[in-house]
Structure 1
């Protein structure tokens, strides 16, 4: 009897040692004060439109999203692991969730990983276009690459399956495929998301890193890569239906995205840049200001002056067809690490718009109402931000 109990105990100990697991709780709080001018259209004493107004706000997430989450891993042996990842965003300024009613709006995945074959995940995750983050001098801060494409390259994606390969001689592959969950494969108005997919290839060496990325986001109303239209009596034309299309955000919401990006590592300096081409179809060319194509270029330098202090300068430019105009964002900033977990950050920027463009510092939807935060077409916008960020 004693031998049987000893054997059972040894077997149990073996199972516990074999299936080790861990759970990590983490988070980040970002808070600062932001000033911007040229917001929306104001009205002067003569009743004529003026160049908007200025604004000072306490803001969360300007340098990096305020978030919290959990990661877990169970080692099941043979180089195999079971993984889960839960992550949600929130506002440090008022405590509200990043998406109303969604606790885990950024990540809610479960999957498996193998040391030799890679990682397979399923659930909700940051969409693959966020791969621009590694090549953006300001790391997709609030005033950066996302500003010139009105947030097209930082969405989340539901119903997604992703695969990340191991590193093969400097190369790695990452892909996503998100189901529409509609009765039509691409989407037909019965669900809130159309089909989404993407693929990226990265090569990394000690001197440089390059990445090519392709993705597409389809309109959930009809599965297309453009807007949804309804007949309108005004001028006998067509207007886009749905709030996203009605504010001129078609190509910024449903389109194909092509990126080519690089990082160059030169000691204390890191040079970054890239080109992004966004293309949509099905838009009405008669609606001026609603582009079907965007060409976005950027470049910048980060100088790591000391282990704690970094200085960053970058330029972002976009050209939009169909009367969308062009705009350039010039920005400088930097950070100083008070510790391994806490940093101070500052950024100043200005957007210069052509006659028909109204891009702002923030990645806002098309429009000139004060609620959008955009300047009037043809006007510039200037802003300064300073804040603190703590990670745990």
Structure 2
């Protein structure tokens, strides 16, 4: 009888312990059709010489297709062990993230406590992705990452991060990524230089403001400037483009205003490299990037969006503006239809495209010809689970 009671007690304890742990599978599939003109073609030497148009099936224009696992275990005293694994893929081809690894977006483990905050370690979306909450198009393919050539949406390895609880409307998030090189900032022995950032957010019922600072170091030398084409430097693995796009400091001021059915969003970013010299004309070392937009939640299911993004680049990089409108319609809580129309207007020396393309004038970059525009239309479907 005693053995039976002991076995029952152990079984009960096991069920209770299991109930204190949770694992969730989640994901998002995004696919659609895209038309774009101003696409480069007929390369002579290192530069495209004319433009064309194309029509293609695309994955991830409205939002990255991804899948992941996240979970927690109650450790008692209000503390939980937490983890998250997340990877991207191409809905149209089924291809995974390739060199980025199976879980190229998130692979973290840590502790969470409602009173003291959350501490995690591992691979993460870099803190510059914190502009997502303040971008009218939520960092879709044609939005706040486009005119900074992907500077706003990289991933980052070797991280430690802390998210504070919210106190009187304020919260803090900090992230620090080691280079894992024999030099603290990086010296070419690893694929990533040191990266770090911090943000402070204040949220009320009427508005939300965020201040964000981040820096990405050049893995080749630990500096705050990207590869120099004039010196024959190769483009860094894991970073986009050259100059300020690849390694730099970024200062962001971000604003949301909530007015019933309307949300107004605005941002300013100063992106600066340091110590860069002898760069070829057209390779900027500083960027001033700003945007503004409005979302009208016309009905619980339908939203209409309009936004303008603008960048000024020094050293002959010129300036460019993206004008875009679009919207979404929710067929259910998990499935929506989306539409976006956008155009990039470049100054005489600029060749920014709608996508967050590498810098350059070759056909492979997909950038329009210098001084030319690029216009696109995208319509798709997105399902979350």
Q: TM-score range by the shorter chain?
A: over 0.9
Hey, what does 1:243 align to over in structure 2? 235
User: Matched residues in 2 for 1:248 and 1:173: separation?
Assistant: 30
- The CA distance in 2 between the partners of 1:367 and 1:247, in whole Å, is 11
- 1:359 maps to what in 2? 352
Deviation at 1:367, TM superposition (A): 1.5
Preserved contact between residue 226 and residue 245 of structure 2 (Cα < 8 Å): no
Give the match's secondary structure for 2:192: coil
Any conservation in 2 of the 1:247–1:367 contact (CA below 8 Å)?
no
After superposition, where does 1:249-268 map in structure 2 within 5 Å? Answer: 249-268=242-261
Instruction: Check the 8 A contact 1:353/1:378 in 2, yes or no.
Output: yes
Match for residue 182 of structure 1?
181
CA drift of 1:249 comes to 2.0
In structure 1, distance between residues paired with 2:165 and 2:135: 23
- Indicate the RMSD between aligned Cα atoms, in angstroms: 2.1
**Residue in 2 that maps onto 1:234:** none
Distance in 1 separating the partners of 2:110 and 2:48: 55
Q: CA deviation at 1:8?
A: 6.7
Counterparts of 1:247 and 1:119, CA distance in 2: 30
- 5+ residue gaps, structure 1, are 231-237
C-alpha displacement at 1:9, in angstroms?
Answer: 4.5
CA–CA separation in structure 1 for the residues paired with 2:277 and 2:9? 72
Aligned partners of 1:285 and 1:322 also within 8 Å: no
Between stretches 34-43 and 170-179, larger displacement belongs to 34-43
C-alpha distance after superposition, 1:198-219 (max 9, x if no partner): 0000000000000000000000
State the secondary structure of the residue aligned to 2:376: strand
Specify the SS of the correspondent of 1:35.
strand
Range that drifts further, 311-320 or 280-289: 280-289
| C-alpha distance in 2 between matches for 1:128 and 1:341 | 27
Taking structure 2 as the reference length, the TM-score comes to 0.94
- Determine the structure 2 residue equivalent to 1:58: 57
Q: 1:378 to 1:129 in 2, by over 3 A?
A: same
Deviation per CA, 1:162-190, whole angstroms, max 9, x where unpaired?
A: 10000001000000000100011000000
How many equivalent residue pairs?
A: 381
Quote the Cα distance in structure 1 between the aligned partners of 2:100 and 2:344: 34
Partner of 2:31: 31
Aligned equivalents of 2:103, 2:241: Cα separation in 1: 29
d(CA) in 2 for partners of 1:95, 1:239: 39
Q: Are 2:382 and 1:389 equivalent residues in the alignment?
A: yes
Task: Say yes or no: does 1:330 pair with 2:330.
Answer: no
Please name the residue that 2:121 is paired with: 122
How does the TM-score come out when normalised to structure 1?
0.93
For the residue of structure 1 that corresponds to 2:128, the secondary structure is helix
1:214–1:372 distance in 2 versus 1, CA, 3 Å: same
**Post-superposition shift, 1:124?**
0.3
CA distance in 1, matches of 2:48, 2:213: 41
Compute the displacement of 1:5 (Å): 5.8
1:194 — aligned with what?
193
Q: How far apart, CA to CA, are the structure 1 residues paired with 2:117 and 2:110?
A: 11
Secondary structure of 2:145 counterpart: helix
Aligned to 1:233: none
Change (3 A) 1:248 1:81: closer
Do the aligned residues in 1 keep the contact of 2:226 with 2:246 (CA within 8 Å)?
A: no
Shift of 1:153: 0.5
Deviation at 1:284, TM superposition (A): 2.7
Matched, 1:308 2:301: yes
CA distance in 2, matches of 1:74, 1:307: 35
Instruction: Work out which of the residue numbers 339, 352, 366 in structure 2 matches 1:373.
Output: 366
State how 1:1-392 maps to structure 2 within 5 Å. Answer: 2=2, 6=5, 9-10=8-9, 13-14=12-13, 16-17=15-16, 20-42=20-42, 50-100=49-99, 102-228=101-227, 238-244=230-236, 249-392=242-385
Unaligned segments of structure 2, at least 5 residues: none
Contact 1:248–1:289, Cα closer than 8 Å, also in 2:
no
- Where 1:221 maps in the other structure, the secondary structure is coil
Per the TM alignment, residue 281 of structure 1 is displaced from its structure 2 partner at its CA by 1.8
Task: Please give the alpha-carbon distance, in whole angstroms, between the structure 1 residues aligned to 2:219 and 2:160.
Answer: 18
For residue 35 of structure 2, give the secondary structure of its aligned residue in structure 1. strand
Shift of 1:40: 1.6
Separation (CA, whole Å) in 2 of partners of 1:309 and 1:169: 33
Q: Structure 1, residues 337-374: CA drift from partner, whole Å, max 9, x if none? A: 01111100000000000011000000001122222111
